[in-house]
């Protein structure tokens, strides 16, 4: 089967750093993406890792280890507006297309 595991919820305070982990088990692998979704609105693309290592985009960083089937999203200098659901998603190469397999999502609550 194909599955992605991530914590269901995380709580942190403003200004802190939080890490959201994701482990995956898929028949094909063509990169790990992260999306943010506020209150059931449109998921917004945050980051993509096609190769092992760290990708940094402002306050957000994402890491991938293909040998461990593991990645994480790191959010620094947390702000109240970062409270949202965060999804990791794997592109299933076997489909030769844009099919993304999403995790269940991690609900991040940022407290003052």
Partner 1 sequence: DAGVTQSPTHLIKTRGQHVTLRCSPISGHKSVSWYQQVLGQGPQFIFQYYEKEERGRGNFPDRFSARQFPNYSSELNVNALLLGDSALYLCASSLAPSEELFFGEGSRLTVL
Phi (first) and psi of residue 81, to 5 degrees: -70, -10
What residue ranges in the chain does DSSP mark as E strands?
Answer: 3-5, 9-13, 18-25, 32-37, 44-49, 53-57, 60-65, 70-75, 84-91, 100-102, 106-111
Site for partner 1 in 36-95 (CB under 8 A): 40-45, 48, 87, 89, 91, 95
The torsion of the CA quartet 8, 42, 56, 18, rounded to 10 degrees, works out to -30
CB of 21 to partner 1, least distance (A): 15
Pull the structure tokens for residue 43: 């998921």
CA 83 to chain centre: 14
Q: Which is nearer to partner 1, 58 or 98 (CB)?
A: 98
9 binds partner 1 per the rule CB under 8 A: no
CB of 102 to partner 1, least distance (A): 3
Q: Which is nearer to partner 1, 51 or 112 (CB)?
A: 51
Q: Which is nearer to partner 1, 67 or 96 (CB)?
A: 96
Chain contacts with partner 1 (rule: CB under 8 A): 4, 30, 33, 35, 40-45, 48, 87, 89, 91, 95-105
């Amino acid at each position: 089967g194909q599955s992605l595991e991530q914590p269901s919820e995380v709580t942190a305070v403003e200004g802190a750093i939080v890490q959201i982990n994701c482990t995956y088990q898929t028949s094909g692998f063509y990169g790990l993406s992260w999306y943010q979704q506020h209150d059931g609105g449109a998921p917004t693309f945050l980051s993509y890792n096609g190769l092992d290592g760290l990708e940094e985009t402002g306050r957000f960083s994402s890491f991938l280890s293909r040998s461990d089937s593991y990645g994480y999203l790191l959010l620094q200098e947390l702000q109240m507006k970062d409270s949202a659901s965060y999804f990791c998603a794997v592109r299933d190469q076997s489909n030769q297309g844009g099919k993304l397999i999403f995790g269940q999502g991690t609900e991040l609550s940022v407290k003052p």
